[in-house]
Amino acid sequence: MQALHPPLEVVRSDSELYDPRDPATIDNPFPAFRRLRDEAPVYELAREQIWVISRYADVEAGMMDWRTFSSAQGNVIYEDPARIGRTLTTNDPPRHDQLRRLIGAGYTPGRVKAHEARIEQLVDDLLAKVDPTGFDFVSEFAGPLTGKVIGSLIGVPEEELERLRVAVDAAFVPTDEFPGGRGLGEVFAFMMDLVARRRRESRDDMLSAFLAAADNGVKMSDQDIAVTGGSILAAGFSSTAHTMSNILLGLFEAPDQRRLVLDDPSLIPNMIEEGLRYDVGTMSFGRQTTRDVELHGVTIPADSRVMLLLSSANRDERRFEDPDRFDLYRKEKRHISFNVGIHHCLGSSLARLEMRIAFEKLLAHLGEFSLNLDRSVRVQSLNFRGFRCLPVRAVS
Q: What is the pLDDT of residues 50-97, one digit of tens each?
A: 999 999 999 999 999 999 999 999 999 888 889 999 999 999 999 999
Which residues contact residue 2 at a Cβ distance below 8 angstroms, ignoring those fewer than 6 apart? none
Question: What is the rounded distance in angstroms from the CA atom of residue 278 to the CA atom of residue 267?
Answer: 16
Q: Angle formed by the axes of helices 348-366 and 116-129, to 10°?
A: 40
Q: How many CB atoms lie within 10 A of CB 16?
A: 12
Q: Is 294 helix (H, G, I), strand (E, B) or coil?
A: strand
Cα distance between residue 246 and residue 279, in whole Å: 6
Q: What is the largest CA-CA distance in the chain?
A: 61
Instruction: Name the pLDDT band for 283 (thresholds 50, 70, 90).
Output: very high
Q: Residue 13: pLDDT above 60?
A: no
Report, as an integer, the average pLDDT of 321-335.
93
Distance in angstroms (rounded) separating the CA atoms of residues 146 and 316: 29
Question: What confidence score (pLDDT) does residue 182 get?
Answer: 80
Q: How far apart are CA 216 and CA 141, in angstroms?
A: 39
Residue 110 confidence (pLDDT): 84
Cα distance between residue 352 and residue 329, in whole Å? 18
Pairing of strands 284-289, 305-309: antiparallel
Q: Which residues contact 211 (CB under 8 A, 6 or more apart)?
A: 195, 198, 199, 202, 225
180 or 215: which leads in pLDDT: 180
- Per-residue confidence band for 216, with pLDDT thresholds at 50, 70 and 90: low
Distances from the Cα of 3 to the Cαs of 161, 299, 320, 395, in angstroms?
A: 46, 11, 20, 50
Please compute the mean of the pLDDT values over residues 20-26 and round it to a whole number: 91
Q: What does the pLDDT look like over 127-136, one tens digit per residue?
A: 999 999 999 9
Helix (H, G, I), strand (E, B) or coil at 314: coil
Where does the pLDDT of residue 179 fall: very low under 50, low under 70, confident under 90, or very high at 90 and above? Answer: confident
For residue 48, is pLDDT > 90?
no
**Cα–chain center distance at 215:** 31
10 or 383: which leads in pLDDT: 383
What are the phi and psi torsion angles at 112 (to 5°)?
A: -65, -45
- Cα gap 77→228, rounded to integer Å: 18
What is the overall mean pLDDT for the chain? 91
**pLDDT given at position 15:** 53
Q: Quote the CA–CA distance of 343 and 248 in Å, as a whole number.
A: 27
- Helices 222-252 and 95-104 cross at an angle (nearest 10°) of 70
